[in-house]
Structure 1
Amino acid sequence: MPDDKGQITIWGRANSVNVQKVLWCLRELDLAYERIDAGMAFGRNHEPEYLAMNPNARVPTLVDGDFVLWESNSVMRYLALAYRQDSPIYPQAPKRRAAVDRWLDWTLSTVQPVDRPVFWALVRTPAEQRDMVAIQKDVDAEAVVWQVADAQLATRRFIEGDDFTLADIAIGAYARRWLGVQGVSKPALPHLERWFAQLADRPGFQQFVAPPMS
């Protein structure tokens, strides 16, 4: 098992949802790391040094010794496999692991596309520039996706059963955005809200995901 004391570096700004996922994961796994601001106001992600690590110019990027990895869900999987193989956060049994993996994929294929227009409109666009009619249509489309998660959580403590997993981190980081935006009409999702209240008690969530959105 690799040494977990200080060789991990995460490039990325703290207000990126994908960076937040990785930082939360690191906290859950109790791994030491260094973080370097990059992206948006901090720049650096289009500089040659960064592009040599991540040609997509996005964040986060992980550097672990001489190993470089991008894509936040892949980074979380790697950290669990490389450092905490015995942790239930990423189960070893093939069926249980595949069940977690599908939700990691779901956040990218299904949640992120409907989350982005709502988040940018309500958090990163000045109020006077918002088209609230168009935004509500986007909110309605996103609500359909969150109803899937709400139904899943009707009979489970966490996304995939009794254990907290990487699926809860990935979906939880986006749920914070969905539940946190104001000024629009959203359906009641009681199972999602009950689950989210559990996540809110976790130190990693409190440190990296709970701060005001920006």
Structure 2
Amino acid sequence: MRLYWIRAQAPRRVLALAKHLGMAMEYVEMDLMAGELARPEYALLNPNKKVPTLVDGDRVLWESSAIMAYLCAKRGADMWPMTSVVEQIEVLRWLSWNDCHWAPAVSPFYFEYIVKSTFGMGPPDREPLRAKEANLMRFAAVLDQHLEGRDYVACDRLTIGDFQLASMATDWRSAEMPLESFPNVVRWIEGLGRIPAWADPWPSNGDDGARRAASHRAPQ
């Protein structure tokens, strides 16, 4: 299997899952600022020109939640429920909640502080974030209430839902997200930080299977 990635939140959750499950993987890091995601040969794999993209033989998958479910199915891991429809629906509910509510609420902070810093896009612009705080706190309150007495967002165990929701919120202090008043959210994030693969998901050039996209030729 080959996974295309950049140092950003959507690839992070897939990378963490693959590492957590001990999956054999070839990791191809793309250069966002050099325009590698817009190259025609990459667009043949992912017409959205985004990452992550997983290639497994003749199968090509994009969208991180689908890739995570696929990896769990390949490994037989219950981080995506394999036998319980009720559990699948519960995880799906939180994946959908993330994409519709939580991610849009946290993404402005993540972009200004994490994305800009990672890719050398200049300093954060704090002023527009003032108007975004109320929406973030609205949905942080929903998550905080749900996590009362819980360590995970679904099924009473670690699932891909946790990785999906935490991907932009993990760096909440660096991103100056106003989460201090939501102790259950903070406790949950800190708990995930004790999972080695989540704490350090990024492949390095010295790892087996890790390389830069410049050395890769796309399938003809």
Give yes or no for TM over 0.5.
yes
User: How many residues matched?
Assistant: 196
What is the alpha-carbon distance in structure 1 between the residues aligned to residue 126 and residue 148 of structure 2? 34
Q: Within 5 Å, which residues of 2 pair with 1:121-160?
A: 121-123=112-114, 124=116, 126-127=122-123, 130-132=125-127, 134-160=128-154
Contact 1:25 1:76 in 2 (8 A): yes
Q: Within 5 Å, which residues of 2 pair with 1:8-157?
A: 8-13=1-6, 15-81=7-73, 83-85=74-76, 87-91=77-81, 92-123=83-114, 124=116, 126-127=122-123, 130-132=125-127, 134-157=128-151
User: Cα gap change, 1:169/1:151 in structure 2, threshold over 3 Å: closer, same or farther?
Assistant: same
Contact 1:69 1:75 in 2 (8 A): yes
* Residue aligning to 1:3: none
AA aligned to 2:3 is I
The secondary structure found in structure 2 opposite 1:170 is helix
Deviation at 1:118, TM superposition (A): 2.0
Task: Verify: 1:203 aligned to 2:211, yes or no.
Answer: no
The CA RMSD measured in Å over matched residues stands at 1.9
TM normalised by structure 1 equals 0.84
Contact 1:10 1:35 in 2 (8 A): yes
The secondary structure found in structure 2 opposite 1:158 is coil
* Residue aligning to 2:186: 193
What is the alpha-carbon distance in structure 2 between the residues aligned to residue 185 and residue 142 of structure 1? 8
Contact 2:172 2:179 in 1 (8 A): no
Give percent identity, aligned residues only: 26
TM-superposition CA deviations, 1:92-144 (whole Å, max 9, x none): 201011101111122211122222222222332644x6242x21221221121
* Residue aligning to 2:205: none
TM-superposition CA deviations, 1:172-195 (whole Å, max 9, x none): 21221434313x654511111111
The secondary structure found in structure 1 opposite 2:44 is helix
The secondary structure found in structure 1 opposite 2:172 is helix
